[in-house]
Amino acid sequence: MSRPVLLSDVGKVLIDFDFSVAARRLAERCLHPAETVLTLFDGIKLPYEDGRMDDKSFVEQALALTGFGGTAPEFEAIWCEIFTQNEPMNATLEALAGKLPMYMLSNTSGLHKDYFLRTFPICQHFQGGVYSYSAQCSKPGEEIFQKAISQLDLDPARTFYIDDLLPNIETASRLGFRTFHYSFADHPRLQAELDAWLAEQGIG
């Protein structure tokens, strides 16, 4: 018999992010203003997150595009230090520890994944995940969901999936997942729906 599983997006669900923080810090070290510096990444951000560019190549191109007046490690710190933990979600997941497997499904890069795994306690609740940069495909496409089903041994009918973006929710729903369209302000409703689903699965 298949097992119930919790599957979650990362950004704007487990952790919040604000790229304007990076923009302001980058602008202090290059000749581009904070208002426009992030547009310099438009041509490399998606290929990087889709695994068509490795960490080293991304950082090299970022330094060249911005004219950043610092070291590669300094740039990496600025690029990564944009996250904050979602404390209500951490409390919700902490209460579920040991009761069911939990995995992440995220459009993210190698630098960001490594950073949030080592930085935020909320990530310790998860047994693993599927990430766009290593899967070489991204949400809302079906391929990354199919890879998650295969690699994580998921039964969509018994998997509760949380995401903040409606197109991702629509793909997951089409594939048979139980879904919740998340926002930070709506956390109490998530808790109620998750509790009801857990009761349906026989998990107290």
CA atoms within 13 A on the CB side of 180: 24
pTM score above 0.85: yes
pLDDT at 1 over 80: no
What pLDDT is attached to residue 116? 97
The 3-state DSSP class for residue 15 equals: strand
**What is the distance, to the nearest Å, from the Cα of residue 70 to the centroid of all Cα atoms in its chain?**
27
- Distance CA(123)–CA(136), nearest Å, equals 22
CA atoms within 13 A on the CB side of 196: 9
Q: Identify the residue with better confidence: 68 or 204.
A: 68
pLDDT in tens, 124-143: 999 999 999 999 999 999 99
H/E stretch holding 182: none
pLDDT in tens, 23-74: 999 999 999 999 999 999 999 999 999 999 999 999 999 999 999 999 999 9
pLDDT at 20 over 90: yes
Query: Average pLDDT of 98-112?
Result: 97
